[in-house]
Structure 1
Amino acid sequence: MKLQFYIRLFVTFALINGSTLSAQDKPQETLTLEQAIALALENNQALKIEQKRVEISDERNSIGNAGLLPTLSLIGDANYTNNSTDLTIRTFQPNPPVVSFDEDGVASTTLQGVAQLDYTVFAGFSGRYRYRLLQNEKQVASLQQRATINETVLSVSRLFLEIAKLQRREELLRETLEITQERITRIQDKKSFGKATGLDVLNAETDLNRDRTSLDNVLLAKNTLKRDLNFLIGYEAERRYWVSAVYNSMQISSLEEVKQAVRANNPNLLLAQEGVSISENQIGLARSGSLPRIGVFANYGYFYQENDVQQLAEITNVGYTVGGRITMNLFNGGQNKSAIKVAKLEKESIQLEKEQLEDRLVTDAVTQVNRITIIEDQLERERLNLDTFQEAYERTEERFKNGKATNLDVRDAQTALLNAQISVVELQADLMIAHISLRNLIGKI
């Protein structure tokens, strides 16, 4: 299964800032979003199962399986009998009027071979509807495969982006740990000169322990998500790698165009529409049971029989036979009527489910469009805040070096900057997830 056949990725995913991890901490293997999706499409077991279903439906989709072609059969049989026979035959003469035989071990041998061609000329259009149902089956298998591919791409993308968010948070926390450790060293130096107290050192060490705990929680969450992603893409559970990401800006269509795209392209909605088509063909198939059936046959065969006692001692026939039959079910306990009514009710039910699904999918698409707009506004504000917090932290750090700010002031500024950095990264990832979710809804992953 080729990646380019199923998806056109509109994003590559890489880190905004350079890595702060040391060479020994950072895995050498790098994984991009495109690579993760390609691996999932190649190795995911659910997709392999769907592919087999598509192949099965392709094989079944033929007019022969719908009963629209003639059948040719070779029929042969042989019989041998050996009986005690008490036989009385009228002579139609006055004397004797009958002749009787009472024999033991009377044998009879019969040999027969026939090549027969049967063809249903008309069966109430049932063959046509059976063929349409086979085409429906093929289309359903294809749409189910497409829906599974879309869900796989969406699941892989979400996991990948959540891992990237945690990975970036890990980087920022490691950077914070280094800065906090350096600050502890400076406070200890100040304490040696009487410019800081033991409480200042304890507060800084407490900050360091909190950062370490936060880092442990991030690593635990990241490794858990990586195991989930590894399962989807066919990697070993504990395989280590570094996700590589770039957040690109993406454009969305107008709200009305999005709604139309959902109705026209969403694979789950198309599956529901195919269900309506299936129910219509089921109605036609049920109606065909009330119509006459016309069939013809032709055969060419050989017949031989040898008898010990019977008047016909030996019979041999070689030749052909042609014939036809017409049948019509006048009454079968109301089964046809019931089947038609049930098929119509099934269609109405499926139509209502399809309309309900359409409303829900369109609503979800509108929600995603609104979510994208909100996240874009939030991201713009957080970027402005990031510049402000960066400048505030640098000034506070400088004042701390000059003895004009306390460790608490620096910690507050550092925490505010860290939260702003994390917020920007997470909003960027959330924006990408929202775009991918929207493209999944409009069937364009």
Structure 2
Amino acid sequence: MNIKYNLVVLAAFCCTAIGSAQDIVTQEQAVKLALENNYGIKIAKQAVEVAENNTSVLNSGYLPTLTGAAGATYNLDNTEAEFSNGAPPTSLKGAESNRYNASVNLNYTIFDGLGRQYNYKSLKEQYQLSELQARETIENTVLQLFSVYYSVAQLTENLDALQETLEVSKDRLVRAQYQFDYGQNTKLGVLNAEVDINNDSINIISSYQELKNAKRDLNVVLGNALNPEFAVSTAIDFKLQFQKDDLFEKAKTHNVALLQTEKNIAISELDIKSNKSGFLPTIGLSGTYGWNKNNNNGASFVSVSTNTGLSGGLNLSWNLFDGGSTIIKVRNAKVNLETQKLQKENILIGIQRDFENAWEDFENKLKIFNIQQQNIITSQNNFERTQENFKIGQVNSIEFRQAQLNLLNAELSRNQAKYQAKLAELQLLQLSGELLNVDF
């Protein structure tokens, strides 16, 4: 009796905890929190920021380089000098001299075979590719979010159904005890009712633990943005409003994996042009503004000299033959382009297969959900009739328990079918590239 009592008390505690006032986190709020706090999404956004920085003109190669240089030299020499004008020779020991210089140097590439132009365009394409990669991360995170969110919702509804079952079992135990006390039934009816209460209590305890685990999983997806004591909405609204053919056309144009492949094709085409720039000459402009000062020793004709000046030049370089490395780079870039095109064709075939599978999966699960809805009505009617007959003694406890379990199983199956159908719809929307365009 102690074990039975403890189980019932613990089950009642679980139900009280679930039924207490809790903040309801709607689907819209969950998506908003995930976009703001999910660490995977934050990391993806950081990658987009890096790619955006790379598209700056400061990383384009179009701007000149400006460098400064300065130096100083000190000499201590022993010098013997003979002069060509017939002056007597000079011998110096420990003669000091020093030189100072400073300059500003400008270098600018006027033409590099159009290589930097194609590289700059490639950086912009890579930025757009990073945005698509971030979008893919967001879509996967949203799908993961709802997978856990609906798990919490399903377990919540399951607990409600289990609580109703436990309440019916408690009423049955009271009735069985009265019948036994007044000699209308045997002790077996009481014992069977107690066993069923224990089983119902165990189911509640287990389901409550699963619910707490699922809430922790959901909070991780949301970046621990929620207080542990929260609840979710169990309302479901199927939002798919597209015809099959229209949705498939969207999949062929908006699917994020396909769009990434198209960006890779564009990048590969630019890589070919960039590598071909190695066949062309490079023209550069250079300029220097310098200052030099020399303090010479006594053996020099000029004791101090100072020079300042500006110089500029135009230079051309042409790598007429680099051992064939540029040729190989161009060939490999062309092969990579063909590979990207083959991957696009492969993705298109996969999208068609995945779309057909996802569409049929959604239709079937939606049909199963509707059937389960009807099954609830049938099971409820059957239970109510059985309950009335049980009260007047026309149905035994075993038959009553079976009707009770049939109703419970129908409710649990309906809950499962409900959220499986919704997840199938979201997977179909993700495949078609419409997942982030619907109102949750």
**Same-fold call, TM cutoff 0.5:** yes
SS in 1 for 2:279: coil
SS in 2 for 1:221: helix
Does 2:239 correspond to 1:250? yes
After TM superposition, the structure 1 stretch with the greater mean CA deviation from structure 2, 116-125 or 188-197, is 188-197
Matches of 2:410 and 2:159 in 1, distance apart?
A: 14
Matches of 2:325 and 2:66 in 1, distance apart?
A: 32
Matches of 2:334 and 2:90 in 1, distance apart?
A: 68
SS in 2 for 1:172: helix
CA contact (8 A) 2:33 2:225 kept: no
Does 2:47 correspond to 1:58? no
Matches of 2:18 and 2:282 in 1, distance apart?
A: 79
Partner of 1:67: 61
Shift in CA distance, 288/417, structure 1 to aligned 2, threshold 3 Å: same
Shift of 1:59: 2.3
Matches of 1:71 and 1:363 in 2, distance apart?
A: 54
CA contact (8 A) 1:27 1:242 kept: no
Shift of 1:64: 3.0
Q: TM-score, normalised by structure 2?
A: 0.87
Matches of 2:345 and 2:84 in 1, distance apart?
A: 80
Matches of 2:22 and 2:310 in 1, distance apart?
A: 80
Shift of 1:312: 4.9
Shift in CA distance, 101/49, structure 1 to aligned 2, threshold 3 Å: farther
Shift in CA distance, 324/100, structure 1 to aligned 2, threshold 3 Å: farther
Q: Which runs of 5+ in 2 are unaligned?
A: 1-13
Partner of 2:296: 307
Partner of 2:201: 212
After TM superposition, the structure 1 stretch with the greater mean CA deviation from structure 2, 293-302 or 234-243, is 234-243
Matches of 2:283 and 2:300 in 1, distance apart?
A: 39
Map 1:291-440 onto structure 2 (within 5 A).
291-308=280-297, 309-440=299-430
Whichever residue aligns with residue 54 of structure 2, its letter is R
Q: TM-score, normalised by structure 1?
A: 0.87
Shift in CA distance, 263/24, structure 1 to aligned 2, threshold 3 Å: closer
Shift in CA distance, 150/24, structure 1 to aligned 2, threshold 3 Å: closer
1:225 aligned to which of 208, 214, 223: 214
CA contact (8 A) 1:304 1:316 kept: yes
CA contact (8 A) 2:80 2:90 kept: yes
Matches of 1:439 and 1:278 in 2, distance apart?
A: 28
More helix by share: 2
CA contact (8 A) 2:157 2:234 kept: no
Shift of 1:221: 1.8
Partner of 2:136: 147
Partner of 1:286: 275
Shift in CA distance, 321/366, structure 1 to aligned 2, threshold 3 Å: same
Shift of 1:77: 2.8
Whichever residue aligns with residue 174 of structure 1, its letter is Q
Shift of 1:371: 1.2
Matches of 1:226 and 1:175 in 2, distance apart?
A: 22
Partner of 2:37: 43
Does 2:191 correspond to 1:202? yes
Shift of 1:437: 1.7
SS in 2 for 1:247: coil
Partner of 2:164: 175
RMSD: 2.5
After TM superposition, the structure 1 stretch with the greater mean CA deviation from structure 2, 126-135 or 334-343, is 334-343
Shift in CA distance, 362/80, structure 1 to aligned 2, threshold 3 Å: farther
Whichever residue aligns with residue 243 of structure 1, its letter is V
Whichever residue aligns with residue 387 of structure 1, its letter is I
